Copies of this chain bind each other. A is one copy, B any other.
Amino acid sequence: VNAEIIAVGSEMLTPQRVDTNSLYLTDQLNALGIEVIFKCVVGDDRALMAATIRTAIERSGLVILSGGLGPTEDDVTRDAVAEALGRPMRYDEAIFEGITAMFARLGRKVAENNKRQAMVIEGAEVLPNDRGTAPGLWIPIERGGVLLLPGPPRELTNLWEKQARARIEAITEPKVIRTRWLRVAGMGESDLDQLIAPVYTKYVNPATTILAKMGDVEVHLRARCETAEEAEALLAEVAPPIEALLGDRIYSRNGDPLETAVGHLLRDRGATAAVAESCTGGLLGARFTDAPGSSAWFRGGYLVYNADLKRALIGEFTEDPVSEPVALRLAAAAASKAGATYGVSVTGIAGPDGGTEENPVGTVWIGVAGPQGAEAKRFRFPGERSRVRTLAATYALDRLRQALIATQI
C-alpha cells in the first residue's frame, strides 16, 4: 500500500511555514513499510481540497490529511473529505459533550462553533484526542483508508501513536521492522558520518539514517525482514561495530533525551545537580526540569545574567565574566549554595552584541564542580544567538554526563 499526505491550511502556503507533520508521518509510515508517493499542501478551499482528495484516493491506498479540523468556518477538512467520498456527515452529541467537559475542566465555556468539531463522516471511526478539541477520524475504504489528524504537531503525534498507527498497521502486509536508536552528544553530524560510514555503507538492510539537530545527533538502524529473528540477527551484526566506534559519546539507546539520560545517571548515584547560568538565562535549568521526576535529581539554581548577581553568588571578581576562573567559581557556588552534589555553570557571549577580540560571539565557558573537584572548558559555538544558547545548554549537560560516567558506582 502506498500513501499520500495532504497538509491543510492557507497559513501552510505562506513563505514562513513548513509542513513538518509530513516528515514525522513519512518517518512513521516508512517504519511500517509504507512508501509516501506524493504529498501536498492545500489551502482552506473546500472544492480544491475535495478534488485533491479524490485524486489521491484513486491512486493510493492510504490518504492522510493533517489540519483543518478546528472549530472555525475556514476549517473545512471534514466537509471536503465527506464530499470527496460522497458520504453524509452526522452530528455526534457524545463528542460535543466531551469537548464541553474538557472546556469545563479548564474553567471555560464551550463555543457554539465547537459543534463543527463534533461532525462525523459516515463510516468513520472517531479517534479521541486527549490533547485538544478536534478528534481524529479514520475512514476505512475499499483498498485502505482515509485518516484525518489535527494539525498541531503535539496533537498529531499523540493521536498517531495512540490511535492511528495500529489501524494502519492492520491494513499493511506483514513485514517486520526492528530498529536500533543511538543518541550521541558532543560531535557534529559530518564527523560522526565519517566515523561510522565505513561500517554502515556496507549494508542496504538495515538502513542507516543519521539525523542531526543542534548539538545532538541520532543514528537510526532499521532492519526490515520477513521475521523478527532475521531482523534482530541483522542488527546484532551491524550495531556493535558502530557502537564500538562511538563509545561513550552514546548517551542513550532507548530514545531518552540527554536531560533524562543525565538525570538517570545522577539518580543512580544518589546525586543532585544545581546550575548557575549567565548567557543561557534559564535554558539549562529548563532542560533539567523538562524530564518528569526531575525533582529527584535537580535542586534549582541561579540566573546570574547581570554581573551584580554573579557577585552576589561568588563574591567579588576581577577577571572577565567569560573566563575559566569565573566559570569554576560559579559551578562550585551553585553546588554549595543549593546543597547539590554537582554544580554546572555557563557563562558566555550569545550575541549578537558583546563580542570582543579575546571572546568573540559564541565563546562559552562551561564549568562542572563535584566531589572530584571542578573543571571548566571553553567552547566556541557557531551561529546566531539562539543556536549558541541551545548548544551551550546541550554541551553543559554533556559535560556533566562526562563527569558522571567517570565516577564508578
Contacts and interface: CB of A to CB of B under 8 A. Distances in A.
Copy tally for this chain in the complex stands at 2
A62 B249 CA distance: 43
A215 to B, nearest CB: 12
Given A189-B70, A299-B309, A303-B301, A41 B42 contact: no
B13 A18 contact: no
Interface string A18-61: 10100110110010000011111111010010011001000100
Contacts of A16: 23, 209, 211
A210 B106 CA distance: 22
Contact of A380 (B27, B55, B107, B154): B107
A200 to B, nearest CB: 10
A13 B37 contact: yes
A3 to B, nearest CB: 10
A372 interface: no
B292 A282 contact: no
A113 interface: yes
Contacts of A377: none
Given A43-B37, A59-B48, A286-B286, A72 B299 contact: no
A134 B284 CA distance: 29
Interface in A302-342: 302-306, 308-309, 312, 337-339
Nearest to A295: B305
A172 interface: no
Contacts of A384: 131
Interface stretch (A191-199, A228-236, A239-247): A191-199
A281 B292 contact: no
B41 A39 contact: yes
Interface in A132-153: 133, 152
Interface residues of A, number: 104
Interface in A183-234: 188-191, 193-194, 197, 201, 207, 209-211, 213, 220
Interface string A118-131: 00000000000001
Interface of A: 10-11, 13-18, 20, 23-24, 26-27, 30, 36-43, 45, 48, 51-52, 55, 59, 70-73, 102, 105-108, 111-114, 131, 133, 152, 154, 188-191, 193-194, 197, 201, 207, 209-211, 213, 220, 275, 277, 279-290, 292-295, 298-306, 308-309, 312, 337-339, 350-353, 380, 382-387, 389
16 contacts: A13-B36, A13-B37, A18-B20, A39-B41, A72-B190, A72-B197, A105-B380, A108-B188, A154-B383, A275-B282, A279-B289, A281-B289, A282-B286, A285-B285, A300-B305, A302-B303
Given A14-B26, A131-B383, A286-B389, 11 more contacts: A10-B209, A70-B189, A70-B190, A281-B300, A282-B285, A282-B287, A282-B288, A285-B285, A294-B305, A298-B305, A300-B306
Q: Which 6 A-B pairs have the closest CB atoms?
A: A282-B285, A281-B289, A282-B282, A40-B40, A15-B27, A282-B286
